[in-house]
Amino acid sequence: MQRGSTFETSNKDIEIFLSLLVKMGVMPLPRYNLYWSTDFRVDAVSNRISRNRFIEILRYSHFNDNNKAVVDRSDPSYDRWFKIRPLLDRFLARCKLVKSEEKQCINECIVPYKGRCRLRQYAPRKPQKWGFKVFARCGVSGFLYDFLASDGKHSTEEVTAANKPYKVVLKSCESLPAHKNHKVYFDNYFNFLELQVQLKERGIWSCGTIRQNRLRDALLEDDATLRRKGRGAFTKVTDQTNGVSVVKWFDNKPVLLTSTFACTKPVGKKKRWDRQTKTRIDVPAPAIIHEYNQHMGGVDLNNMLTRLYRIEHKSRKWYRRVFFWMIGAAITNAWLLCRRHQTLTAGTSKTLDLLAFTGSISTSLCLAKRPMEMSRRGRKSHQSADAPPCPIKTPKIITRSKPDDIRSISNMG
């Protein structure tokens, strides 16, 4: 709350405000005020709350006390995410309460933002190249179990910047129970041989692609030898001490993977396009390739689902975009959890798709804590039966007259 402000609100106003934000993600318009305009009016939004009241709540929405902020950037307790830290911690705690799936993947996602902010980062290989970077751990279903908001800097404990992905994986796996047969997948940005050994000591299996300069001189056949053998050729080496297997598979180019539970057998087949015969052919592929491809897309699936009905309104206040992202991620998690529950209980009711589920959440927030109309027992009186239903009061729509230069000729004297 700002100093000297007389703004007041209630829990019901906040619920309606959140309901409208969710509905605006389903029915996007370029500006907030268009939902109350004459030409683009949306009754599902404008009939719930006035435009000025909505903008007022949005204006005074804060998630932390600015008087407690640490301004000195050299202070160890300085937090770049301070403005929204309580909400991040609360949402993260709720995500960790859900029982984790057996197979998880760790990857980075981008919360899009093009404004000026120190937290904004550039990711050239992502669909949204500018925004806030969040390291997420998701299941195969796309459920978000854990995440770590990146501040774009490195602590003094790290010798080089290359060690940061190593610690991101360890931090993300702290909430995973040990020795429960959990398997974690990640790409070559995060993978180190030492990382997989440390995860195995914690009782967590791992699998991922790896870069050539992180192999620590593993004795593998060179690329030229595999190229002469043709597509589908592979070579492997296993560390008998730590139990880490390294596999190099040649497709169009060499691919390096490491794992503590998967190796080459059984060898399967992959469909690939052959330029010479102009047909799709079967290419031999070791088991580790199938294992990685099948279970690595959880974070991308979560990003796709969250992006479908994302709140797209621009704002100079960067923490609003993070707040909007958390709303979408929470709805996606709730929908996936609902589907899981119906699958486990073998329910006969039809599962709602994400669009219908999002709409039901918006409607439920508007109707929450509203008193129910109790029906009286007995026969209805003639007076109540003949009485017309109570009309719903809707705001008056003001229509403006047309300018003189576009009036029809028949109306001119």
Instruction: Identify the pLDDT of residue 341.
Output: 87
CB burial of 306-325 (b: ≥16 within 10 Å; e: otherwise) equals: bbebbbebeeebbbbbbbbb
Distance CA 120, CA 114 (A): 8
At residue 282, the 3 state secondary structure works out as: strand
What pLDDT does 74 receive? 86
Specify the residue for token string 């909505």.
Answer: 54
pTM of the model: 0.83
Residues of the chain with pLDDT under 50: 1, 154-162, 383-393, 409, 412-413
pLDDT for the residue 388? 47
The Cα–Cα gap between 142 and 301 comes to: 5
User: What distance in Å separates the CA atoms of residue 210 and residue 222, rounded to the nearest whole number?
Assistant: 16
Q: Are the C-beta atoms of residues 352 and 360 closer than 8 Å to each other?
A: yes
| Cα–Cα dist 73/69, whole Å | 11
Place of tokens 């057998």: 265
Q: Which of 130, 128, 129, 108 is nearest to 120 (CA)?
A: 130
pLDDT of residue 156: 34
**pLDDT of amino acid 307:** 93
Residue-level pLDDT at 304: 95
Q: What pLDDT, on a 0 to 100 scale, did the predictor assign at position 154?
A: 43
d(CA 249, CA 259): 14
Tell which residue, 314, 315, 354, 310, has the closest CA to residue 328.
Answer: 310
Q: Cis (ω within 30 of 0) for the bond into 389?
A: no
Q: What is the 3-state secondary structure (H, E, C) of 327-381?
A: HHHHHHHHHHHHHHHHHHHCCCCCCCCHHHHHHHHHHHHHHCCCCCCCCCCCCCC
CA separation for the pair 196, 245 (Å, rounded): 10
Can you give the pLDDT at residue 350? Answer: 78
Tell me the sheet residues that pair with 105.
Answer: 138, 185
pLDDT at 349: 66
Contacts of 256 (CB under 8 A, 6+ apart): 188, 209, 210, 211, 212, 215, 246, 247, 248
Query: Are residues 130 and 120 in contact, defined by beta-carbon separation less than 8 angstroms?
Result: yes
> pLDDT, tens digit, for every residue of 125-147?
888 889 999 999 999 999 999 99
| Amino acid at position 87, single letter | L
Q: How far apart are CA 307 and CA 332, in angstroms?
A: 10
Strands (E) located in 172-233: 183-186, 205-209
Rg (CA), the chain: 28
